[in-house]
Amino acid sequence: MDLQGLKFLVVGAGFYGSVIARKIAEELEENVLVIDQRMHIGGNSYSEIDPQTGIEVHTCGSHIFHTSNSKVMGFLKPFMSLNGYRHRVLTCYRNQIYSMPINLMTINSFFKKNFSPEEAQSFLRGLIQREKITNPANLEDKAVSLIGRELYEAFIKGYTAKQWQTSPRELPADIITRLPVRYSYSDRYFSDVYEGIPLEGYGRVFKKMLKHPLISLQLGVDFMQLKSRIPADTRIVYSGPIDRFYNYRMGRLGWRSARFEKECFEKDDFQGTSVMNYADEEIPHLRIHEFKHFHPERQYSGRTIIFKEYAKSATENDALYYPVNTENDKKLFKKYERLAEKENKVLFGGRLGKYVYADMHQVIEMALHTFETKIRNKNEP
Ligand code: UDP
C-alpha cells in the first residue's frame, strides 16, 4: 500500500470513521484512505442479506436508529431513509412476558394490580423510600432508587449480571439511566423524534457513504502493522481502541463482547417480536433477536432467522461492544487521554477511541463536531 503523500488516514469504517471520511472527501475535496481491520465496512452497525433466506441480518446484534438531532438526519439524508419501525422490547422473567422499559403495563402485570399512573407512582415511591438511598452512585443504587428493589431484582439484576459479569455496585449509574421508567402505558423503547431501520439496510448505507472518488477503502488492514510506515505529515483519525493505539502500555481497558448463535426456522415467526430479553440469571442467553420484524415493509415468508445473544468478556480477538467503565477503567482511560492530548496529528473518536457507551446517532454527532472543530478549521491555510 503506497502511503506517500497521504494527507488523511481514517482508521475504522464504522459510523465515526465513515462520516469523517465522507466530510473530508466532499467538503475539503481531499483524498482520504479508510482502513478497517475487519473484512466489512460499518463496524458493529453492519447488516447484510442472509443468502439462504434473504433476511437482513444485523451481524453484531440489533441496531435501531434513533435521534432527535436534525443535523444528524440532514447529514444522513443522501445515504439513508428510515422505515416506520418503532422499537418495543419484551422481557421474559420466570416464564412470563413483560414490557420493557418498565412502564405501567410492566408494573401492573408484575404486582398484579390495576394502578392508575398516579397510584403506580405513589406505590413505587413507597418502595423506593424504604431503601433510604441518598446518593445513588452505582448501577444498583441508581436502579433501586428509580424502581424499587422488587422490580430491580426481577428485571435488572439477572440481566445485568449476565451482560456485565461485574458487580452492579461497581458499574456506573448512567448505564441504567439509558432506560426510561414510565408511569404510562407508552412502551416505546426510545423517545426520539426520528426512529427506524434503514430501508436499504445498514450495509448499503455505509457503502453509499464511502462511495466517493476521493475515498479509497482497504479492508483487512491492521493499523498497528501500518503505523511505522505512515508519513509524518499524515493526519490520522483513529476510531480503534485507544489502549491498543498505545500498545496497552499502561494496561487494558475493560470491554464486554458478545457471541451470537444463529438458527434458521422453516416458519413465518419464531417469537412474534424483534427483541426478547431474558431476565433470569439461570437462562444463559441475554436476548433473542429475530431480524425479520425490523422490516415490516419487506416481504419475507416461510422462514425466519434468530440470533441468541450470549454476553462474554472481550479477549484479544473479540469485537469490542460495551465499555465496562469501572472506577479503575476511568482512571486508566484518563491516562490514555492525556497521551492522546499530546498528539498533534492524531484525533481519537468513536466508541472505541473515546471509550464511551455511545449510540450510533451520538457517534455521528461526535464525528460531525470533530470535523467542524478540529479538521475543517485546521485545514484552512
Ligand atoms: N437492562 C436490564 N434489563 C433489560 C434491559 C436492560 O437490566 O431488560 C440494563 C442492562 O444493565 C443494560 C442496560 O440496562 O446493560 C442498558 O440497556 P440497553 O437496552 O440500552 O442496552 P443495549 O441495547 O445497548 O445493549
pLDDT of residue 108: 98
**Which of 60, 155, 159, 181 is the pocket-test mutation for ligand 1 (most atoms within 8 Å of CB)?**
159
Q: What is the DSSP letter of 252?
A: P
Contact at 8 Å (CB) between 308 and 263?
yes
Rg (alpha carbons) of the chain, rounded to whole number: 22
Look at the pTM and tell me if it is higher than 0.85.
Answer: yes
Q: How far apart (Å, rounded) are the C-alpha atoms in residues 113 and 379?
A: 62
Alpha-carbon distance values, 121 to 115, 116, 134, 247, 301 (Å):
9, 9, 19, 50, 43
C-alpha distances in Å from residue 131, one per residue of 54, 161, 224: 51, 21, 50
Largest Cα separation within the chain, whole Å, is 70
Does the pLDDT of residue 380 top 60, yes or no? no
Among the listed residues 242, 227, 276, 254, the one whose alpha carbon sits nearest the alpha carbon of residue 61: 276
Quote the CA–CA distance of 59 and 48 in Å, as a whole number: 7
Q: Is 141 a catalytic residue?
A: no
CA of 306 to the centre of ligand 1 (A): 19
CA 230 to chain centre: 30
- With a cut of 70, say whether residue 177 has pLDDT above it: yes
Q: Which of 74, 105, 77 is nearest to 91 (CA)?
A: 105
pLDDT digits (tens, 9 = 90+) for 242-258: 999 999 999 999 999 99
CB atoms within 10 A of CB 237: 28
- For the stretch 331-336, contacts whose Cβ atoms lie closer than 8 Å and that sit 24 or more positions apart, written own/partner, are 332/243, 332/250, 332/251, 332/253, 333/242, 333/253, 335/250, 336/242, 336/243, 336/246, 336/250, 336/253
Return the best residue to mutate from 88, 138, 163 for the ligand 1 pocket (most ligand atoms within 8 A of CB). Answer: 163
Q: How many CA atoms lie within 13 A of 109 on its CB side?
A: 18
Query: What is the pLDDT confidence band of residue 44, given thresholds at 50, 70 and 90?
Result: very high
Residue nearest to atom 7 of ligand 1 (CA): 156
Mean pLDDT over the full length of the chain: 96
CA atoms of 73 and 194, how far apart (whole Å): 8
Split at pLDDT 50, 70, 90, the class of 381 is very low
Under a CB-based contact definition with an 8 Å cutoff, are residues 19 and 164 in contact?
no
Residue percentage of the chain with pLDDT more than 90: 95
Lowest mean pLDDT segment, chosen from 147-151, 168-172, 289-293 = 168-172
Q: CA-CA distance, 222 to 101, in Å (whole number)?
A: 39
**DSSP string for residues in 317-375:** TSPP-EE---HHHHHHHHHHHHHHHT-SSEEE-HHHHHT----HHHHHHHHHHHIIIII
Strand partners, 100: 89
CB distance 275 to 89 below 8 Å: yes
**Per-residue exposure over 138-155, b if at least 16 CB sit within 10 Å of its own CB, e if not:** bbbbbbbbbbbeebbebb
Question: Which residue is closest in CA terms to ligand 1's atom 14?
Answer: 176
> Among 22, 235, 287, 351, which one carries the catalytic annotation?
287
Report the C-alpha gap between 46 and 235 in whole angstroms. Answer: 26
Closest CA to 363 of 373, 343, 348, 378: 348
Specify whether 287 is catalytic: yes
pLDDT reported for residue 379: 55
Alpha helix segments (H runs only) across the chain: 15-23, 70-76, 104-111, 117-131, 139-151, 158-164, 202-210, 223-226, 242-245, 327-341, 350-354, 360-370, 377-379
Peptide bond preceding 101: is omega within 30 degrees of 0, i.e. cis? yes
Q: pLDDT per residue over 219-275, tens digit each?
A: 999 999 999 999 999 999 999 999 999 999 999 999 999 999 999 999 999 999 999
pLDDT score at 175: 93
Tell me the residue type at 22. Answer: R
CA of 175 to the centre of ligand 1 (A): 7
Question: Residue 212 pLDDT > 70, yes or no?
Answer: yes
Q: State the distance from the centre of ligand 1 to the C-alpha of 58, rounded, in angstroms.
A: 18
* Per-residue model confidence (pLDDT) at position 229: 95
Write the DSSP string, 119-161. HHHHHHHHHHHHH--SS--BHHHHHHHHHHHHHIIIIIIHHHH
Mean pLDDT computed over 129-151: 95
What is the mean pLDDT of the segment spanning 130-153? 95
Q: For residue 47, what pLDDT band results from cuts at 50, 70 and 90?
A: very high
Q: Which of 22, 204, 256, 351 is catalytic?
A: 256
